[in-house]
Amino acid sequence: MSLGIRDEERRIIPRWRDSATTSALGELSQPGSAPRPILAASDFEQKALAWEREQTPSSAAELVGAALVLGREQDAIAAAQFLVRQEVTVTTTVREVAQTVLLRAGELTPPAVSEDPTWKESARSRIRHLRSRLHDEPRNAVLWTDLSREYASIGLSDQASRAMETAVALVEGNRFVLRSAVRLWVHLHDPERAHDLLRRRVATQEDPWLTAAEIAVASVAERQSRLVKRATQMISNELFDARQTSELASALATLAMKDGSAKTARRLFAHSLVSPTDNSLAQATWAARRFAGISVDPSALALPRTFEARAWQFFGVREWFKSIRQCMLWIRDEPFAKRAAQMGSYMALVGANDPKLAETLVKLGLRAHPSDPALLNNLVVGLIEQGHLDEAERLYHSIRRPVSDQESETTLVATAGLLAFRRGNHDLGRKLYADAIAAAIAADLHRIAVIAELYMIREMIRAGEPGVAATLTEALQNYGKLPDADVQELLGRLRQDHNAKALASMHP
């Protein structure tokens, strides 16, 4: 049986993208009052006059350089246009500066944040490039952070950790580095370290993005955040604009939801959605799935890189391939995001009935999580569905079973049932499925129990077992009205399988 929709808990742990993308998404602007403009009117006017009088490449180059430094791009458009003309011979650098002036003056269309996070080069080649730059720039904390991300994306946890430690040692309160470090330590199952890192920094008390991360990671580490009161003030005092406090409001809303303060949670989620990030949007859509009164404007899904939220939206309406596509993009956006690979491979197996596609998704996830039992379980199921039973069995026995993860353990027992059925050992198969269902019920994992039961019925239909029609009818009665899209998909397929089997038995 496949495993994928782990939707019980979600915290707003920072996304971790490369520095250029994070900047382009506008998540690194610094809160606080805007600085005073640089008083340099006379310097600029002199250069503007010189350009007007001389109309030479030299005076144009001087003016466009000044425009970029002083934020006067609008006043240097003519000079920049002059410099980008083919017949004007200037250095490549001068031409590039002129192009930047035109871009910032709105004369050229800026490139949008790419919706496809796929890199042209492999992770290994990006690592080579970053290491080569770091050889010359050993104090570049941004590069160390990007390098750490590349290592994490291919499962080299020790290297990722070392690179991040270097980055963290080089900065005081830099948001990009600290939030990335938090994401890494959570990824490496060390939320306490992530929390320690943040709570020791002064910037965490001043920067709402860091405060949000501290509150979220404290929750993962099962600690109490000491910044909740301060965070509440940051929002109520309106010292920051809604974009700056979107994730902070979302973190507080999630806490309120956990504490059962419905009204507060709704109010804070509403605040988080005024100008959301893709992460706060995903958090709100997650909350809306389990909590009435949180409304998410569908137009927000058009925001860049809202892959997770879109995947869930398509999941809800059983648009399996569209949802899988969003999971694929989500994995490329955050290669270490286990949930993306789990959810995508699950939908490929259960919704799209495409085990080959599931295998592809699992393998993407395994690069960063090579021993994740949930992903390996889905790979085993994919292999069984493709008829590669020996390979599936070998892989199944190699899985290190987590002691404390009841969900994975239960699912693995059910998968053993699937394997037994496909080996022709129906009694053992039924027994294992029954064990899994009982264990799931005992652990309050009712969704898992339902899915396991439906999988068992599928195998019984497939095996042509007598009495399966009654079992199926019972399942349809019991679960036909559940809201879960995957349950309904499975029920529909069971009905089809059963009808097809019945038809086949009538016309052998």
Partner 1 sequence: MRTSAQMLEGLTLDGGWRVLSRIVPLSSATGGTFSEGYLVRGPNNEQAFLKALDYSGALKSPDPARALQALTETYNFERDLLHRCRAHGMDRIVVAIDDGTIRINGAPDGGVVQYLVFELADGDVRSQADTSQRFERAFSLRALHHVATGMVQLHSDGIAHQDVKPSNVLVFRKKESKIADLGRAVRNGAAPPHSTQIVAGDPVYAPPELLYREVDPDWNRRRLGCDAYLLGSMVVFFFTGQGMTALLARDLHPSHGWLAWGGTYRDVLPHVRDAFGRVVNNLKLILHPDDRDRIVSIVRELCEPDPRLRGHPKDRNTPALQYSLRRYIARFDWLARRAEGGLNRRLGASP
Residue among 295, 293, 246 at smallest CA distance from 274: 246
Residue number with CB closer to partner 1 (27 or 385): 27
Q: Cβ distance 402 to 408 under 8 Å?
A: yes
Residue 238 in contact with partner 1, rule: CB under 8 A: no
Q: Which of residues 154-193 bind partner 1 (CB under 8 A)?
A: 170-177
Residue number with CB closer to partner 1 (19 or 245): 19
For the bound state, the minimum distance from the C-beta of residue 186 to partner 1, rounded and expressed in Å, comes to 21
Q: Which of residues 485-504 bind partner 1 (CB under 8 A)?
A: none
Residue number with CB closer to partner 1 (133 or 495): 133
The region of 88-96, 260-268, 325-333, 483-491 touching partner 1 under the rule CB under 8 A is 88-96
DSSP per position, 88-108: S---HHHHHHHHHHHHHTTSS
Q: Cβ distance 412 to 401 under 8 Å?
A: yes
Q: Cβ distance 419 to 392 under 8 Å?
A: yes
Residue 66 in contact with partner 1, rule: CB under 8 A: yes
- Judged by CB under 8 A, the residue of 2, 12, 51, 255 near partner 1 is 51
- Judged by CB under 8 A, the residue of 94, 184, 186, 257 near partner 1 is 94
Question: Distance between CA atoms of 149 and 160, rounded to whole angstroms?
Answer: 7
Question: Distance between CA atoms of 169 and 189, rounded to whole angstroms?
Answer: 21
Residue number with CB closer to partner 1 (275 or 406): 275
For the bound state, the minimum distance from the C-beta of residue 74 to partner 1, rounded and expressed in Å, comes to 13
Residue among 7, 13, 14, 481 at smallest CA distance from 291: 7
The region of 58-66, 152-160, 254-262, 463-471 touching partner 1 under the rule CB under 8 A is 58-66
Question: Distance between CA atoms of 135 and 140, rounded to whole angstroms?
Answer: 10
Q: Which of residues 122-141 bind partner 1 (CB under 8 A)?
A: 133, 136-137, 139-141
For the bound state, the minimum distance from the C-beta of residue 343 to partner 1, rounded and expressed in Å, comes to 32
Q: Which of residues 95-114 bind partner 1 (CB under 8 A)?
A: 96-97, 100, 104
Residue number with CB closer to partner 1 (100 or 386): 100
- Judged by CB under 8 A, the residue of 3, 12, 13, 61 near partner 1 is 61
Beta carbons within 8 Å of 124's beta carbon, 6+ residues apart: 154
The region of 93-101, 258-266, 360-368, 384-392 touching partner 1 under the rule CB under 8 A is 93-101
Residue number with CB closer to partner 1 (56 or 398): 56
Q: Which of residues 406-465 bind partner 1 (CB under 8 A)?
A: none
Residue 46 in contact with partner 1, rule: CB under 8 A: yes
Residue 228 in contact with partner 1, rule: CB under 8 A: no
Beta carbons within 8 Å of 137's beta carbon, 6+ residues apart: 143
Taking CA atoms, 257 is separated from 11, 178, 242, 288, 437, in Å, by: 11, 26, 20, 11, 30
Which residue reads 């782990």 in tokens?
6
Question: Distance between CA atoms of 93 and 82, rounded to whole angstroms?
Answer: 15
Question: Distance between CA atoms of 10 and 27, rounded to whole angstroms?
Answer: 20
Residue 121 in contact with partner 1, rule: CB under 8 A: no
At 320, list the tokens: 């399996």
The region of 1-9, 31-39, 473-481, 494-502 touching partner 1 under the rule CB under 8 A is 31-39
Residue 76 in contact with partner 1, rule: CB under 8 A: no
- Helix runs in 8-156, H state only: 19-24, 41-54, 57-70, 77-83, 92-104, 123-136, 141-153
The region of 92-100, 216-224, 249-257, 381-389 touching partner 1 under the rule CB under 8 A is 92-100
Size, binding site for partner 1 by CB under 8 A: 68
Residue 92 in contact with partner 1, rule: CB under 8 A: yes
Residue 62 in contact with partner 1, rule: CB under 8 A: yes
- Judged by CB under 8 A, the residue of 10, 11, 15, 47 near partner 1 is 47
At 496, list the tokens: 């089809």
At 150, list the tokens: 């590349």
For the bound state, the minimum distance from the C-beta of residue 210 to partner 1, rounded and expressed in Å, comes to 11
- Judged by CB under 8 A, the residue of 89, 118, 237, 477 near partner 1 is 89
Taking CA atoms, 127 is separated from 12, 156, 160, 183, 209, in Å, by: 28, 12, 11, 19, 28
Residue number with CB closer to partner 1 (98 or 340): 98
The region of 27-35, 307-315, 397-405, 451-459 touching partner 1 under the rule CB under 8 A is 27-35
Residue 19 in contact with partner 1, rule: CB under 8 A: yes
For 293-402, list the strands marked E by DSSP: none
Kind and range of the H or E run holding 229: helix 228-236
Residue 42 in contact with partner 1, rule: CB under 8 A: yes
Which residue reads 């899904």 in tokens?
301
How buried is residue 41: exposed, middle or buried, by Cβ count under 10 Å (0-12/13-18/19+)? exposed
**SS3 state at 72:** coil
Which residues are near partner 1 by CB under 8 A?
19-20, 23-24, 26, 28-40, 42-47, 50-51, 53-54, 57-59, 61-62, 64-66, 68-71, 89-94, 96-97, 100, 104, 133, 136-137, 139-143, 170-177, 203, 207
